[in-house]
């Protein structure tokens, strides 16, 4: 069986505070930890022995994977962390309250920045001490590769090539894989594997802490998929 689990990290502190988080390394809230633990419980019920896992460099995704692995009895020993799976960089919006930003720029403009496929928010200045180039967790990344702002398309253009080069080949040898990442990096991956159009992808919202199970057939075509927490499931648009 070819099995892939996608899970968006549990609620972070900046999710709770309704802030644009992006590459800021926000921690999980108590609710976020509970969501991560529940994700682990739901995944454990599948009775699948997972071979490997991938996550970003951000603690909210790493801790979510850690809690899942604890529920699985720490059976996943091969874990890869990659900046390519990071959340989308929200540029100059990073750290701003979303409601206050709507008041400042107008709801229509903020909607374009948040939900359009290829229009990024205003860039963050490289002199801003809150820019990711100043964060220790990114010190081993070539600064030229660290963005000042990203659209979902930009996120797609880093996350999907990584997925195709390092993760999909693992599926080809029938490995069972978990990816613990972020709303936008997972939306980008879903866009690719579900062949979601540029128009439809703006409607896809992945809930925190609700794993998506995807089963592939022998031809590596998707056979079925589902959210494990049915009460919090969202529709995955596959053909618009």
| In the chain, domain spans | 2-232
The residue among 144 and 234 whose pLDDT is bigger is: 144
pLDDT value of residue 115 = 87
In the block, tokens 């579900």 appear at: 194
Average pLDDT over residues 171-196: 95
Q: Are 65 and 80 in contact (CB under 8 A)?
A: no
Mean pLDDT of the chain: 94
9 is catalytic: yes
| Tokens coding 137 | 């967790």
pLDDT reading at 82 higher than 70: yes
Percent of the chain beyond pLDDT 90? 89
Out of 35, 67, 84, 87, pick the active-site residue. 87
In sequence order, the 6+-apart residues with CB closer than 8 A to the CB of 239 are 195, 196, 197, 200
Q: Are 209 and 32 in contact (CB under 8 A)?
A: yes
Number of Cβ atoms within 10 Å of the Cβ of 237:
17
| Tokens coding 164 | 């195709």
Q: Are 179 and 5 in contact (CB under 8 A)?
A: yes
Using DSSP bridges, classify how beta strands 212-216 and 78-81 pair: parallel, antiparallel or unpaired: unpaired
pLDDT value of residue 237 = 58
Residue 104 CB-density burial (10 A; 0-12 exposed, 13-18 middle, 19+ buried): exposed
Mind listing the pLDDT tens digit for each residue in 203-230?
899 999 999 999 999 888 999 999 999 8
Q: Are 78 and 85 in contact (CB under 8 A)?
A: no
Distances (CA, A) of 181 to 5, 34, 218: 11, 17, 26
User: Does the pTM exceed 0.75?
Assistant: yes
2-232: CATH class: alpha beta
pLDDT value of residue 128 = 96
In sequence order, the 6+-apart residues with CB closer than 8 A to the CB of 91 are 22, 120, 121, 122, 123, 124, 148, 149, 150
**At 198, is the pLDDT very low, low, confident or very high (cuts 50, 70, 90)?**
very high
Number of Cβ atoms within 10 Å of the Cβ of 49:
9
87 is catalytic: yes
What is d(CA 146, CA 47) in angstroms, rounded to the nearest whole number? 39
**At 240, is the pLDDT very low, low, confident or very high (cuts 50, 70, 90)?**
very low
**At 100, is the pLDDT very low, low, confident or very high (cuts 50, 70, 90)?**
very high
| Tokens coding 45 | 């019920």
**At 235, is the pLDDT very low, low, confident or very high (cuts 50, 70, 90)?**
confident
């Amino acid at each position: 069986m070819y099995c892939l689990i996608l899970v968006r990290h549990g609620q972070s502190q900046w999710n709770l505070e309704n802030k644009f988080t992006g590459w800021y390394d926000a921690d999980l809230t108590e609710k976020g930890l509970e969501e991560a633990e529940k994700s682990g419980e739901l995944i454990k019920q599948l009775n699948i022995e997972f071979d490997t896992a991938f996550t970003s460099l951000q603690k909210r995704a790493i801790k979510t994977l850690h809690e899942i692995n604890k529920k699985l009895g720490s059976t996943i020993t091969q874990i890869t962390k990659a900046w390519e799976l990071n959340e989308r960089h929200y540029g100059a919006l990073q750290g701003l309250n979303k409601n206050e930003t709507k008041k400042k720029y107008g709801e229509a403009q903020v909607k374009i920045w948040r939900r359009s496929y290829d229009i990024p928010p205003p860039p963050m200045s490289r002199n801003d001490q809150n820019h990711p180039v100043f964060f220790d967790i990114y010190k081993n990344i070539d600064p030229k590769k660290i963005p000042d702002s990203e659209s979902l398309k930009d996120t797609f253009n880093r996350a999907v090539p990584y997925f195709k080069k390092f993760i999909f080949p693992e599926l080809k040898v029938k490995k069972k894989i978990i990816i613990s990442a972020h709303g936008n990096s997972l939306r980008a991956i879903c866009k690719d594997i579900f062949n979601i159009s540029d128009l439809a992808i703006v409607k896809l919202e992945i809930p925190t802490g609700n794993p998506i199970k995807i089963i592939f057939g022998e031809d590596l075509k998707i056979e079925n998929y589902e959210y494990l927490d049915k009460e919090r499931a969202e529709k995955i648009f596959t053909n618009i």
